[in-house]
Amino acid sequence: MIAQAVRESGSVTVQELAELTGASEMTIRRDLDALAAQGVLERVRGGARTLLLRGEEPPFALRAREAVEAKRRIAAEVSSLIADGETVLLDSGTTCLEVARLLHQRPVTVMPLSLQAIHMLGDSPGPATLMVPGGRPRAAEGALTGPLTLASLSALRFDTGVVGCCGLSAAEGLTAYDLDDAAVKKASITSSRRIIVAADGSKLGRTAFAYVGPTTLLHTLVTDTTAPADEVAALEGAGTVVKIV
């Protein structure tokens, strides 16, 4: 409730939240501190403020709470496109984290590009084989980037690359918010025989700062029903198979 209130109003006071939730102000303060520590919002005296400014990328902890159902469905579809025994390269991002959860139960070899996914696949033994790429983790997201990551990618070839994105349009191609991220995605595409893009509908038709490549490099797009029809049509026209779940 707090996260939603902050997202909608942009800024709320402790009193407002106490009234809204029926909890005491002390509890609200404690919850705000916890949410601030998770990077969901920013604490200010008397209340809290959203971290969402201008065209910036929303923080990871915030995105992880949005559209969870859609992400799950997309992840399930992506997983079903992957055959047993494949070697899979798995991008960073919340949707790909869901894919990691599913692939953990499958006899495949996975190299994830985020710390979170490494944890998921490495903590408990499962049928999946884990490969770790090198790199420098970027902030809360845990996305691995940098020369070590690029070197790890260039040394290997994968059957399938599952990539997320911040923006995807037929006209402007695949884009990311971060330059380093974009470089990793570029290398991922180069090192994978087949590319599956996992992106919920909100990413379609959007363009972010860093250019990764044209949509002609992408073999399959898995998205949800909120995807704009014109973009879907344009992508299919450009030769990408689109699966809507």
Partner DNA sequence: CATAACGAACATGCTCTATGTTTGAAATCT
Partner DNA sequence: AGATTTCAAACATAGAGCATGTTCGTTATG
Identify which range of 46-54, 58-66, 81-89, 142-150 contacts a copy of itself by CB under 8 A.
142-150
Tell me the C-alpha distance between 159 and 172, whole Å: 26
Number of Cβ within 10 Å of residue 214's Cβ equals 13
- Per-residue x/- track, 6-45, DNA (CB under 7 A): -------xxx------xxxxxx-xxx-x---------xxx
- Per-residue x/- track, 152-181, a copy of itself (CB under 8 A): x--xx-------------------------
Q: Least distance from C-beta 47 to DNA, angstroms?
A: 6
Single-letter amino acid code for the residue at 44? V
Q: Least distance from C-beta 154 to DNA, angstroms?
A: 44
112 is in the binding site of which of DNA, a copy of itself, none (Cβ under 5 to 8 A by kind)? none
Number of Cβ within 10 Å of residue 195's Cβ equals 23
By the rule CB under 7 A, 207 interacts with DNA: no
Tell me the C-alpha distance between 173 and 61, whole Å: 26
36 is in the binding site of which of DNA, a copy of itself, none (Cβ under 5 to 8 A by kind)? none
Nearest to 203 by CA among 240, 241, 177: 177
Tell me the C-alpha distance between 245 and 240, whole Å: 16
Tell me the C-alpha distance between 98 and 72, whole Å: 6
Rounded to whole angstroms, what are the CA distances from 97 to 115, 136, 140, 237? Answer: 10, 18, 14, 29
By the rule CB under 8 A, 118 interacts with a copy of itself: yes
Residues within the interface to a copy of itself (CB under 8 A): 115, 118-119, 122-123, 125, 129-137, 139-140, 142, 144, 147-148, 151-152, 155-156
Residues that bind DNA (CB under 7 A): 13-15, 22-27, 29-31, 33, 43-47
